[in-house]
Structure 1
Amino acid sequence: MQSDAVIRFEGPEDRALYRRPAAQPGVEFYRARIRDHRFEAHSHEAYGLGVITDGLGRFRWRGGEHLAPRASLMLMNPEDLHTGQSADAGCWAYHMVYLEEDLLPAYGGDRSWRFDAAVSGSPDQARAVACCVQALWQAQEPLAVDSLLLQLVELIRPHARVQGRPAEAGGRFEPVLDFMRSQLDQVMSLDQLAAVAGLSPFHFLRSFRAQHHATPQQVLMALRSFEAKRLLAQGQTPAEVAAATGFSDQSHLTRSLLSRYGVTPAAYQRQLGLRGLRRGR
């Protein structure tokens, strides 16, 4: 396993920690304890499988406000754009495992899952998932990690819909998302994106927001931030990553990752045990 490093936010009680098992690409572990920080809209481009371990969280998901109480499961689809913050004056704590969609058949045998509720599960189910996730953090051998991931997928399966992607996850705007991903380092216009969708600019703007519960600019920034985190995990320097993903400079990248994932580029790379890189902020 990679070494740990705790991220410190402006709030004195806010903490976040990332870890990636060295022998399992496409898997990331994350735990956080948040009182003051408010995460901007972001996605993980992976299944988010986790549990709320303390407090009460509030987040915006699919156009609505939701609460995530202690001893409940937190389940996210790869394309889900969401925010996050504590819902009261106390700390909100949660542990997550992010599993890239292509890995699901290996661990679960299912081609694709979709979650229709971001918060679900009984306290007993949440305790079982929490124990499994805690064991994953402590596992040292690749076989142990694989075995525990299989166990986690089995625990989560009852909460998933196994029919594959719903129709709305593809459709008219899937080419727009693909275009965005292919042009992250470029300036994009409303006219460009509307042309990809085959709609007039403002019809596209209204329809896109109605389907994704976010503006094209918000989705673009979420995609840029996720890709930046992925490139940082591959060992690219923050300056290289900023240029490759369309951020105006390294400071812009730092602000985006901190607001969406609670981590700076340099701290994220330290958590993953990467060495010999030019230091970012």
Structure 2
Amino acid sequence: MQGVPEQFDQPQDRAEFRRANGLDGVELYRAHIVHHEFAPHAHDGYGLGVIEAGQERFDYRGRRHLAPAGTIVMMQPGELHTGGPASPLGWRYRMMYLDEAALASQLGAEPLWRFDHAVWAGDTARAVAMARGLHALWHARGSDEADAALCQVLTLLAPLAARAAAPSVNASPSLRPFARVVDALHDDLTREWRLHELAALADLSPFHFQRAFKAAYGVSPHQWRVALRLAEAKRLLARGAPVAEVAATVGMADQAHLTRRFVGMYGVTPARYQRQISGG
């Protein structure tokens, strides 16, 4: 499409998605980022990965985190986060986005995992082994190889996880006033909410609502809404829906608008993501 880049603005930045061979609910990502700043976004599954070189900084759960080489990164499903370079050469990393259903099928009767620490540093041997496991998962030629690689990665992560279901977003006292707001944004992605309408759902004035929401979530209500729209767009694209149709479904002005936002959040265009995830 004319006027829309197929890649980052800077040629040093590279990113690629792939489905794990023969495994449902397992999406893989590898990238080397030198310049790009990822806008606040979320993934459906757990974000589990390793920094192979350089250093990343990212905002997650109201805190700024630094992740140098040899660090394992662990994020809960649906949690907003950013990402950017924290060194002149940026950072190179691998991620696995693992659906809760896929993890549940691996754990059997065990409770789902919860990761209380976004960054696990100082365990270089574990990080190197995890990078090897994610590399093997990326290059697995059949479901048997993919199964073995996934098991290897989960075995390495198991000691870092708490054995309890992830707490509800609404369980935190600081987030409880916004439960109706978050539900409303989820329920109608295409609606152009006015600030005073959202504030009324939280029984706050627009001024106090905007400040309190950002203090609780680290992003504005508008940024949260955009992140929800893009997460839904990613789900629809993975199912093969046409890009223009996806743009309309999630309330974007047009395909070009969706593309600009998608690149900012995920590092690839919607069309390229769809090709990569389908193996095309």
User: 2:212 aligns to what?
Assistant: 207
User: What residue identity is the alignment partner of 1:256?
Assistant: R
CA distance in 1, matches of 2:60, 2:84: 12
Q: Note the residue ranges of structure 2 that are not aligned, 5 or more in a row.
A: 1-5
User: 2:43 aligns to what?
Assistant: 44
Correspondence for 1:264 among 261, 269, 275: 269
Give the 3 Å change call, closer, same or farther, for CA 92–274 of structure 1 in structure 2. Answer: closer
Q: Give yes or no for contact 2:34–2:90 (8 Å, CA) kept in 1.
A: yes
Q: Give yes or no for contact 1:232–1:241 (8 Å, CA) kept in 2.
A: yes
Give the 3 Å change call, closer, same or farther, for CA 267–72 of structure 1 in structure 2. Answer: same
Task: Give the TM-score normalised by the residue count of structure 1.
Answer: 0.88
User: 1:279 aligns to what?
Assistant: none
CA distance in 2, matches of 1:216, 1:101: 26
CA distance in 1, matches of 2:55, 2:279: 34
1:173-212 equivalences under 5 Å are: 173-212=178-217
Residue 246 of structure 1 deviates from its aligned partner by 1.1
CA distance in 2, matches of 1:159, 1:140: 29
User: What residue identity is the alignment partner of 1:107?
Assistant: Q
Larger deviation, residues 134-143 vs 233-242: 134-143
Correspondence for 1:250 among 250, 255, 271: 255
User: 1:124 aligns to what?
Assistant: 125
Q: Give yes or no for contact 1:205–1:216 (8 Å, CA) kept in 2.
A: yes
Q: Secondary structure at the match of 1:8?
A: coil
1:108-147 equivalences under 5 Å are: 108-109=107-108, 110-121=110-121, 122-147=123-148
Q: Deviations over 1:243-268 (max 9, x none)?
A: 00011111110010100100101111
Find out whether 1:57 has 2:56 as its counterpart: yes
Give the 3 Å change call, closer, same or farther, for CA 196–161 of structure 1 in structure 2. Answer: farther
Q: Give yes or no for contact 2:55–2:90 (8 Å, CA) kept in 1.
A: yes
User: What residue identity is the alignment partner of 1:227?
Assistant: E
Residue 77 of structure 1 deviates from its aligned partner by 1.0
Q: Secondary structure at the match of 1:217?
A: helix
User: 2:3 aligns to what?
Assistant: none
Residue 56 of structure 1 deviates from its aligned partner by 0.9
User: What residue identity is the alignment partner of 2:46?
Assistant: Y
CA distance in 1, matches of 2:99, 2:182: 17
Residue 12 of structure 1 deviates from its aligned partner by 1.7
CA distance in 2, matches of 1:234, 1:167: 27
Larger deviation, residues 18-27 vs 259-268: 18-27
Correspondence for 1:221 among 220, 223, 226: 226
User: What residue identity is the alignment partner of 1:117?
Assistant: H
Give the 3 Å change call, closer, same or farther, for CA 22–134 of structure 1 in structure 2. Answer: closer
Q: Secondary structure at the match of 1:248?
A: coil
CA distance in 1, matches of 2:192, 2:279: 31
Give the 3 Å change call, closer, same or farther, for CA 242–58 of structure 1 in structure 2. Answer: same
Q: Give yes or no for contact 1:108–1:154 (8 Å, CA) kept in 2.
A: no
CA distance in 1, matches of 2:232, 2:136: 28
User: 1:241 aligns to what?
Assistant: 246
User: 1:232 aligns to what?
Assistant: 237
CA distance in 2, matches of 1:174, 1:49: 27
CA distance in 2, matches of 1:195, 1:63: 24
Q: Give yes or no for contact 2:32–2:90 (8 Å, CA) kept in 1.
A: yes
CA distance in 2, matches of 1:194, 1:11: 39
- Superposed CA RMSD in Å reads 2.0
Q: Deviations over 1:16-39 (max 9, x none)?
A: 010013633322000000101111
Q: Give yes or no for contact 2:21–2:141 (8 Å, CA) kept in 1.
A: no
CA distance in 2, matches of 1:227, 1:166: 22
Give the 3 Å change call, closer, same or farther, for CA 199–114 of structure 1 in structure 2. Answer: farther
Q: Deviations over 1:37-64 (max 9, x none)?
A: 1111111121011100111111122223
CA distance in 2, matches of 1:98, 1:81: 14
Q: Secondary structure at the match of 2:111?
A: coil
User: 2:28 aligns to what?
Assistant: 29
Task: Give the TM-score normalised by the residue count of structure 2.
Answer: 0.88
CA distance in 2, matches of 1:67, 1:99: 22
Give the 3 Å change call, closer, same or farther, for CA 168–240 of structure 1 in structure 2. Answer: closer
Q: Give yes or no for contact 1:20–1:27 (8 Å, CA) kept in 2.
A: yes
